[in-house]
Structure 1
Amino acid sequence: MSDYYEVLGVSRQASAQEIKKAYHKKARQLHPDVAGPGHEEEFKAVTAAYDVLSDAEKRRMYDLGGEDAVRGNGYAGGFGGDFTDLGGIFNAFFGSGAASRGPASRSRRGQDSIVALEVELADVAFGATKTVTVDTYVTCTTCQGTCCAPGTSPVTCSECNGQGSVQHMQRSFLGNVVTSSPCRACQGFGTVIASPCPDCAGEGRQHVRADVEVNVPAGVSTGTRIRMSGRGAAGPAGGPSGDLYVEIHELADEALTREGDDLYTELRVPMTAAALGASFPLTTLDGERTVSVKAGSQGGDEVVLSGLGVGRLRRPGRGDLHVQIVVETPTRLDDRQTALLQELAALRGEDGFAPAREESLLGRLREKSRSKRR
């Protein structure tokens, strides 16, 4: 007498879901089309166990009195009934079974492509139209994607009669089992290219190098990818084209530094101009502009020119241009200049400092030696 729980490999407390899962696993392993001949009795036992344990009332009776209690109530376990609906059983275990899905299509979508594009700062500030060169596929101009030589067309496969698949019948203890597989003669397409196109070798597309215009919007930055729908490689046999992705690489600018939508630069001014105030021309992306330096400006002060930065991506307006003031102190003065600065220092009460003097290397070494002896 069999223990149905042991046959399915589950505990007596197993849930209905666990019993179902165990049954399908065992049935797949023992099905004649998978395990081959010699496992028929095991397969029957697994099915009989599931037939009882999957039914709540049958399972209750089995738990009370075992296999005899189930049989005594008129329950016939196993596959003692009708086996004519073998296709339904096969489909439950293995999917579509012998059902034919029809011929496959030669036409497929083309691959997506990606290409890098280097752009200048001005391009990302205002937007630009650029050209990239890509290696790609286009629909064959000779056959227009039919894959056939001009004047010819695909021929219906004689092996599968255009079905794309062939059926095989196998005998098992359950009866005749019909399975389906792709036709080897036509690779499942249902047709054969008897006369392939000489220019594309029957693929329906050709490899080319082409120039593509790209609209670069303002505000993009390194790493931004621009998607161009349908501009990728054409698919085989006239299939739709994939997409082209253009990845932006922004080149560094010599004078301007970008941070988001804002730009930064330096303006070097003489010490006297910083003290007295002055106006200076500054080259920007928008041409020459005038920067006014206020009297008494210090090094590090900033002048902001609104709206002269980078255009905002998918938003109106532009960032700002930040101009940092760098005050240049004169390094070489003639006697006259020195006298004038000394006079200015005296007038401002700034002449009480000891003048700096340039020490020789030998003098610095002597001073260092004295410090160590102390």
Structure 2
Amino acid sequence: MSKRDYYEILGVGKNATKDDIKKAYKKLALQFHPDRNQGNKESEEKFKEVGEAYSVLSDDNKRAKYDRFGHEGLRGSGQGGGGFDFGGGSFDFGDAESIFEQFFGGSFGGSSRGRRSGAGNAHRRGNDLQISIKLTLEEISKETTKKIKINKFIKCTSCSGSGAKSISSVSKCSSCGGTGEIRTVQRSILGQFVNVSPCHACDGMGEVILEKCPLCGGDGRIRDEKTVNVTIPPGVSEGQYLTLSGEGNAGRRGGQPGDLIVIIQEKEHKYFNRDRENLYYDLQLSVSEAALGTEIEVPIIEGKVKLKVPSGTQPGKKLMLKDKGLPVLNGYGKGDLIIRISIWIPTKLSKKAKELFEQLESLDDTKPKSSEKGFFEKIKDRLFD
């Protein structure tokens, strides 16, 4: 089933401002919140859908990718076993509830559904890590796997992440009764709100440690250097990023690990400039090559090819080698190699060369048909100025 357009979901246009998007989200989130529509699965799905649309359109980076590539721009190709994506990732009810709580500070009623039921574990989630990888255009032209070393928190090898010296060293928190949460109820014109916050006595864990693990000091994690394989799909661009789920820092005391964010950077190329999938190469011809035509060797990503330059080629002309550009990200086909022609005009001439140019200038078929100065007149002006 294909996803609906995010702008359509929020009922805003593609030129909508951040305020427009925020107002639309607030209205729809209140309308479809499951605590106002209990037992209505359709409302729950719409609530999640509205949250997902807002999470993308309120983020400048994600919105730019979505505007350019649609839903495909927010998803990875699913290869490499790393669960990576281009900033989109999976979006569940807990994510939608989290966004709602940022706006309204809680939830309707007293239900303990979705994200709130796992607040302690969410509180312990490890931090995301961020690195940059520089790629050549040759690497970008095909699937590339990079091995990178990162220093990060991993689960403690002594206590397996519990933070306790032994099982008997853990006791239920008396302040929260083991839930890891403290709940307060507030009433407003919108209804009853339940504010859920981590228990300060146990730091949201639901239990307290009586005797800490000697290796990690009760944190449940230690630092170590790990090697991660990053598989990068062909066609990526500068500034795009891949998310490797679970490859960030381990969470405290058994909490979920964070993600590893890999930001793509492009190395400057010796020959080519890039515009999306197309590559540009500047080719300089001599006067005689441009006038008579020639066959010349030019670079491409895979090596070199012969290019036929027709006679009478003018400065500024563009020649195209089809499908010699870069692959389309998450799509089919390739861009083109555009060759921009410039003419090399000598600044100094031998006596014989001057005579030959003057002879050419005297021929009728070397002169322009309009009042504009001709090619050889321009050369003459430059040589004898």
TM, length-normalised to structure 1: 0.56
1:234 lines up with 2:247 in the alignment: no
Alignment of 1:296-315 (within 5 A): 296-315=312-331
CA distance in 2, matches of 1:288, 1:120: 17
Q: In 2, are the aligned partners of 1:152 and 1:195 still within 8 Å (CA)?
A: no
Task: Give the letter aligned to residue 355 of structure 2.
Answer: A
| Partner residue of 1:224 out of 237, 240, 244 | 240
Q: Does 1:289 align with 2:289?
A: no
Name the CA distance, whole Å, in 1 between partners of 2:319 and 2:117. 73
Any idea what SS the aligned residue of 1:237 has?
helix
Describe the SS at the equivalent of 1:109.
Answer: coil
SS in 2 for 1:319: coil
Inter-partner Cα distance in structure 1 for 2:228 and 2:321? 36
Among candidates 160, 163, 166, match of residue 144 of structure 1: 160
Distance in 1 (alpha carbons) for counterparts of 2:286 and 2:149 = 49
Letter in 1 for 2:222: Q
Matched, 1:329 2:345: yes
Specify the SS of the correspondent of 1:344.
helix
Question: Which residue in the other structure is 1:154 paired with?
Answer: 169
The 1:183–1:284 alpha-carbon spacing in structure 2 relative to 1, beyond 3 Å, is closer
2:269 to 231, 244, 253: 253
Specify the code of the residue in structure 2 equivalent to 1:131.
Answer: K
SS of equivalent residue, structure 1 residue 126? coil
Q: CA RMSD in A?
A: 3.7
**DSSP 3-state at the match of 1:304:** strand
**Count of residues in Structure 1 that have an aligned counterpart in Structure 2:** 245
Alpha-carbon shift at residue 328 of structure 1 (Å) = 1.4
Post-superposition shift, 1:350? 6.2
Q: Whole-Å Cα distance in 2 between the matches of residues 240 and 103 of structure 1?
A: 11
The one of 142, 146, 165 aligned to 1:130: 146
Whole-Å separation in 2 of the counterparts to 1:102 and 1:311: 45
Q: 2:213, 2:134 → 1: CA distance?
A: 39
Percent identity of equivalent pairs: 33
Structure 2 vs 1, CA of residues 162 and 277 (structure 1 numbering), >3 Å: closer, same or farther? closer
| 1:169-248 matches, cutoff 5 A | 191-248=207-264
Opposite residue 314 of structure 2, the aligned amino acid is Q
SS of 1:123's partner is helix
1:345 alignment partner, SS class: helix
Q: CA separation in 2, counterparts of 1:156 and 1:253?
A: 60
The equivalences for 1:56-71 within 5 A come to: none
Task: Write the distance in 2 (CA, Å) between the matches of 1:110 and 1:291.
Answer: 55
Distance 1:251 1:184, change over 3 A: closer
* Structure 2 partner of 1:363: none
Residue from 108, 112, 116 that aligns with 2:132: 116
SS of the residue 2:356 aligns to? helix
* SS class of match (2:264): strand
Within 2, Cα distance between the matches of 1:313 and 1:343? Answer: 54
CA distance in 1, matches of 2:198, 2:280: 65
Query: What CA deviation, in whole Å up to 9, does each residue of 1:103-141 have, x standing for no partner?
Result: 995783222222222222222232322233434211111
State the match for 2:295 in structure 1: 279
Specify whether residues 154 and 103 from structure 1 end up closer, same or farther in structure 2 by C-alpha distance, changes over 3 A only.
Answer: farther
Separation (CA, whole Å) in 2 of partners of 1:133 and 1:293:
48
Change (3 A) 1:241 1:336: same
**Whole-angstrom distance in 2 between the partners of 1:273 and 1:182:** 76
Between the aligned partners of 1:318 and 1:183, the Cα distance in structure 2 is 55
**Distance of 2:203 and 2:220 partners within structure 1:** 17
User: Of the two, which has the highest radius of gyration?
Assistant: 1
What's the secondary structure of 2:141's corresponding residue? Answer: helix
Q: Distance in 2 between matches of 1:183 and 1:343?
A: 94
- Partner letter of residue 291 of structure 2? A
For residues 161-188 of structure 1, give each alpha carbon's deviation from its aligned partner in whole angstroms, at most 9, with x where no partner exists: 99449xxxxxxxxxxxxxxx99987667
Q: Would the aligned equivalents of 2:121 and 2:256 in 1 still touch at CA under 8 Å?
A: no
Render the CA deviation track for 1:229-273: whole Å, top value 9, x for unaligned. 111211112222122211112232232111111011111111111
**Local SS of the residue matching 1:249:** strand
* Structure 2 gap ranges (5+): 1-108, 180-196, 368-375
Change in 2 beyond 3 A, CA 1:185/1:225: closer
User: 1:80 — aligned with what?
Assistant: none
Which of these residues, 358, 367, 379, is aligned with residue 342 of structure 1? 358
